[in-house]
Amino acid sequence: MTIAMDRPDLPTVPTTQDTQRVSWSKPARWLWVAETPSEYLGMVDRNYDGYVATGFDGRDLGVFSVRADAQVAVYSHWFRAVEGD
């Protein structure tokens, strides 16, 4: 299953990255992977503690009780890195 979502409207200067769609695929049970057509954003996996968010750079972004919050953490981490370039 793949879930596609547009980037939220954030007050930034538009870049090429702003036009890319983020999609979430589910390659295994309890694992969600985020990517654009050209980049890996990170992943969320479910364990006994909750939903664990991991960034594109392998950084642990935290454990969340709601999957959507973990997905936002992955997306936000990637977005901040892209905008920092």
* Integer Rg of the chain from CA: 13
Which DSSP helix (H) or strand (E) runs through 22?
A: strand 22-28
pLDDT at 10 over 50: no
* Structural domain spans, the chain: 2-83
pLDDT per residue over 47-84, tens digit each? 999 999 999 999 999 999 999 999 999 999 998 888 77
- Return the pLDDT at 1: 53
DSSP state letter for 8: P
pLDDT at 15 over 70: no
- Return the pLDDT at 55: 96
- Return the pLDDT at 12: 43
- Return the pLDDT at 28: 95
